[in-house]
Structure 1
Amino acid sequence: MTEPHRHATHPALIARLKRADGHLRSVIEMIEAGRPCLDVAQQLQAVEKAVVNAKRALIHNHMDQCLDTEHSSEDRAELKVIARYL
């Protein structure tokens, strides 16, 4: 059996995603309650941004922690810039 793949940043990432999950559940409740579309769209934008930021943090952490150490810090900086477009 293989070891779990965990980083020191994972608890913060999990907390961030749980908050996003709570916001998404609120959006569903807003739609069910017939709230105005503008309100729903604003909340959906916040959820989307939270998930995108969580993904970016995960990718950046992976690049910092898991890539071969033979890569220079300049290579890592460039990879972080590129990862913004994922």
Structure 2
Amino acid sequence: MFEEGWSCPGPAQQLQAVESTIHNAKRTLIQDHMEHCIGEGVDHGGANAKQTLSEFKTLSNYL
């Protein structure tokens, strides 16, 4: 980037944009997982409450 004449803030701005995109994608993926896997498991009796709570706690660490 520097070789191409970018200003000093340019690379930092690009890294911030990439980081923000990854963060948003991760949040969407985890929320989708919570909704489909955990939510449907509870609705259909596929998972007990203790297991579901454990999975939720684990996933919430990644938000």
TM-score normalized with structure 1 length: 0.44
> Letter of the aligned partner of 2:60 in structure 1?
A
Secondary structure of the structure 1 residue equivalent to 2:42: coil
Which stretch shows the higher mean deviation, 52-61 or 35-44? 35-44
CA RMSD of aligned residues (A): 2.9
Query: 1:27-70 CA distances to partner (integer Å, 9 max, x unpaired)?
Result: xxx34524222011111101100000000000000000011225
The correspondence for 2:18, drawn from 41, 47, 51, is 47
Listed as ranges, the gaps of 5+ residues in structure 2 are 49-55
Between the two proteins, what is the percent identity of the paired residues? 48
Instruction: List gaps (5 residues or longer) in structure 1.
Output: 1-29, 72-78
Compare CA radii of gyration and give the structure with the larger one. 2
Partner of 2:51: none
Aligned counterparts of 2:25 and 2:13: Cα–Cα separation in 1? 19
Q: TM-score, normalised by structure 2?
A: 0.57
Of the three residues 43, 48, 65, the one matched with 2:36 is: 65
Paired residue type of 1:45: Q
How many pairs are equivalent? 51
